[in-house]
Structure 1
Amino acid sequence: MTETTLDNVQINFDDQTLWILNLALALVMFGIALDISVTDFKHLLKRPKPVFTGVFSQFVLLPAVTFILVWAIEPLPSIALGMFMVAACPGGNISNFITHLAKGNTALSVSLTAVATLLAVFMTPLNLQLWGSLYAPTSALLQEVAIAPFEMVKLVSLLLGVPLLLGMGLHHIRPVMAKKMAKILKAVSLLFFVVLIFLALYNNRDIFMDYIFYVFWIVVLHNVIAFATGFSLANFMGLSQRDIRSITIETGIQNSGLGLLLIFTFFDGLGGMALLAAFWGIWHLVSGLLLAFFWGFKPVEKEKLA
């Protein structure tokens, strides 16, 4: 049943729900940006190596490793395209919190979130199109949909880029007010977004339950490999333990909420893509917290400034 129908299944979101989800994700990004200052970017110039490593891990290495994984396990085309979508997204909104729990470099995590969000405006559509086109089954799906890259760039800009710049602008102009707003807005907007996703999936629960066990092992494997990718590259680059933890988490915690919205907007809720992105959004919270719990009890060396 799975092999003949999942690529044809669609998860339905009405236009009003999709519009509200877009607004909710933009509010989540705005809330995160209220804690980001221009000073954070100045620090990047002083220590560019960890930032370069994190960006390379997210936007170059993870999509490439995902392609190898897809080639090796040969999932259904819609599942494979969902894997490429998740790998093309920037780090997830919860990564800063998990990095803090894991005793990683929270400042680096926040800086990577800002940089990756800006780069995602172009890199997310580019990586999806590039890697999806290199794998024949997903290339066929992309040709059927015939998405307009500029339209995807425009949507990602509105969902991530504009809220980021507005939040940083308010932080620069009214830092005290921004700090007070951030405490409330980050929690409320994220909760609101999660509840909306849950309700939307609940309305499609029959489809979700029919195929969740098929998707489960692929998401877990993909997520473990994502964490391992960030960890391995950061180690190879000789970074400090705190930086290694941050980059590992930033690579393994992806903004699957953005992925879902792009899937519903440009792929009409294509079953395999939507299920994979939705379950990734659930699972990476579990795996991220487990990793943070493990690292939280392990001492970390003092960071050596380079």
Structure 2
Amino acid sequence: MDLLINVGLPVSLAIIMLSLGIGLEAADFRRVISRRYPFAIGAVCQVVLLPVAAFATVKIFALPPAIAVGFMLLSFCPGGVTSNILSKLAKADVALSVSLTAVISLLSIVTVPILAAWSIDHFMAEDAPEVSISSLALAMFLITTLPVAIGVGLRHFAPGLANRIDAPLSKLATILFVLIVIAALAGNWQLFVDNLGIMGAGLISLNLALLLIGLGLARAAKLSWNEAKTISIETGIQNSTLGITLAALITGTESGFSPLALPSAVYGITMYAVAIPFITWYRNR
């Protein structure tokens, strides 16, 4: 278990972020300037709306402190490669999705440590583990920002190599992700069983609400249908592997997977059940 947490978890996330970087080009970052308005709508939804909706969900469902923190950690994690793939399947604006993922993922090195520290202090009070924002930011840089930068560099300087390793990396990351979700559930099995009903209902409700709110705001902002689909997906889809990794970084690994990782692990399963009907609708309209 310790090997999976200490090695498999950060390696899995780094591989996922490397795979994300390999799919990016400099144009994906420059596009933010030329498409400021739709990007701004998507960024506000991800950075502001998402945590606010998660906070409201936690309060409405009266979740236990550790589970509440886990919900908040999940809400701080951008969609990553998964949101890009789902945008493509939904025939949405993939270029906008990639640009949002690229920039928000890089910004997360600043936003996530600060918001995570606040959440732990707010919900866990005297039971809160000590969190070093600088240490968390450094860890975030090493396992998220640096792999993305390496991937972008490979795409630019060695496109042939990038194309060859992209698919195997994605497959490996998927296998590791499945193992991590299973281990996180197994390590907190009793807590999982005791809170499955309320936690599952909270996660599904939050996921549904975010997909619908993202779509509604985008349409209210007069974005095109393809742009609105992208905003919906980027708002409603989170990187559960990053959520599990954050929980491990915050609480340490001496006692196995932290209860803080449980919402992200469950979300890694429920997300697809919620997203598939939306993707089917988006694809056919």
Counterpart position of 1:183? 167
**1:259, CA displacement in angstroms?**
0.9
Cα distance in 2, alignment partners of residues 93 and 27 from structure 1: 11
Q: C-alpha offsets along residues 56-108 of structure 1, whole Å, 9 cap, x if unaligned? A: 11111111222233333322212211111111111243111111111111111
Cα distance in 1, alignment partners of residues 187 and 250 from structure 2: 20
Output the aligned Cα RMSD: 2.0
Summarize the alignment of residues 160-179 of structure 1 with structure 2, pairs less than 5 Å apart.
160-179=144-163
Counterpart position of 1:116? 104
Change (3 A) 1:82 1:122: same
Counterpart position of 1:281? 268
Counterpart position of 2:50? 62
Counterpart position of 1:95? 83
Change (3 A) 1:18 1:209: farther
Aligned counterpart for 1:214 among listed residues 198, 218, 227? 198
Residue identity matched to 2:172: V
Q: 202-211 vs 257-266, which deviates more?
A: 202-211
Counterpart position of 1:41? 29
Counterpart position of 2:137? 153
Residue identity matched to 2:157: I
**1:294, CA displacement in angstroms?**
1.8
Cα distance in 2, alignment partners of residues 270 and 185 from structure 1: 27
Q: C-alpha offsets along residues 9-30 of structure 1, whole Å, 9 cap, x if unaligned? A: xxxx425533211111101110
Residue identity matched to 1:278: A
**1:132, CA displacement in angstroms?**
5.1
The runs of 5 or more residues in structure 1 that have no matched partner are: 1-12, 299-306
Query: Residue 254 of structure 1 aligns to a residue in which SS?
Result: coil
The runs of 5 or more residues in structure 2 that have no matched partner are: none
Contact 2:96–2:227 under 8 Å retained in 1? yes
Aligned counterpart for 1:80 among listed residues 51, 68, 81? 68
Cα distance in 2, alignment partners of residues 260 and 293 from structure 1: 28
**1:270, CA displacement in angstroms?**
3.7
Counterpart position of 1:243? 227
Q: C-alpha offsets along residues 134-183 of structure 1, whole Å, 9 cap, x if unaligned? A: x5xx0516x63120111111111111100000000111101232122213
